[in-house]
Amino acid sequence: MNIDQSQDSCIFCKIARHEIPANVRFESDEIIAFDDINPSAPIHVLVIPKVHITSLRATEIDDQMLLGKLVYRAKLLAEELNIAESGYRVSINVGKWGGQIVSHLHLHILGGAPLTTKLAVATVDESVPLTH
Ligand code: AMP
Ligand code: ZN
């Protein structure tokens, strides 16, 4: 198998390959979902493709089906985790300003308690002009 260095060292690829432990909530050929190690809500699950895609930004037209499966899996997991009726959030952080730390595409499912209604916390560095 031709695994490049980034896939080899990627923490989420290692979880997908069962090389490091995680509390797995769902697994298929294409997708694995597991508890976030540092949860931001009582329920905090990450849904990832097993294939190493660095970010939503890196997806291409052929990834549309996979993206749909990831979102639909998040919906099914929310139901299984009993947070669907009360409500929950599914989010994808993209890039530096989007708060993405791990460079492997992942959806956050957050729920189990009322969530903040603020999606963006404005900690704008005045030295960096906002152009849009
Ligand atoms: P993001 O900021 O969108 O890149 O989110 C990355 C998430 O991955 C964070 O919420 C981390 O707590 C979580 N995380 C990092 N390492 C692990 C791990 N080994 N197992 C589970 N979750 C992890
Ligand atoms: Zn990866």
Active-site residue (options: 52, 106, 108, 132): 106
Q: Which domain holds residue 100?
A: 5-111
Q: pLDDT per residue over 15-38, tens digit each?
A: 999 999 999 999 999 999 999 999
C-beta of 7 in contact with ligand 1 (< 6 A): no
- The answer as to whether 124 is a domain residue is no
24 falls within a domain: yes
* pLDDT band, residue 119 (cuts 50/70/90): confident
Q: Locate the ligand 1 atom nearest the alpha carbon of residue 34 and give its number.
A: 21
Ligand number nearest to the C-alpha of 12? 2
Inside any domain, residue 53: yes
pLDDT at 6: 80
Q: What's the pTM?
A: 0.90
* Reported confidence tier of residue 122, pLDDT bands at 50, 70, 90: low
Q: Is a pLDDT exceeding 90 seen at residue 129?
A: no
Q: Which residue has the tokens 């929310």?
A: 78
Region 32-59: mean pLDDT is 98
CATH code of the domain in which 88 resides = 3.30.428.10
Cα four-point dihedral sign 61, 62, 63, 66: positive
Residue 45 covered by a domain: yes
**Burial label, 107 (beta-carbon count in 10 A; 0-12, 13-18, 19+):** buried
Specify if 116 maps to a domain. no
Tokens for 87, please give them. Answer: 């409500």
Does residue 126 lie in a domain region? no
- Per DSSP, 58 falls in state G
Residue 92 amino acid letter: I
User: At CA 99, angle to CA 111 and CA 63, rounded to 5?
Assistant: 80
Give the pLDDT band (50/70/90) at residue 78: very high
Say if 70 falls within a structural domain: yes
Q: Which residues are within 8 A (CB) of 30 and not within 5 positions of it... i.e. 6 or more apart? A: 49, 50, 51, 66, 69
pLDDT of residue 118: 79
User: Where does the pLDDT of residue 127 fall: very low under 50, low under 70, confident under 90, or very high at 90 and above?
Assistant: low
Structural domains counted in the chain: 1
Q: CA nearest 31: which of 72, 87, 80, 3? A: 72
Distance 36 CA to ligand 2 centre (A): 15
Residue 123 falls inside a structural domain: no
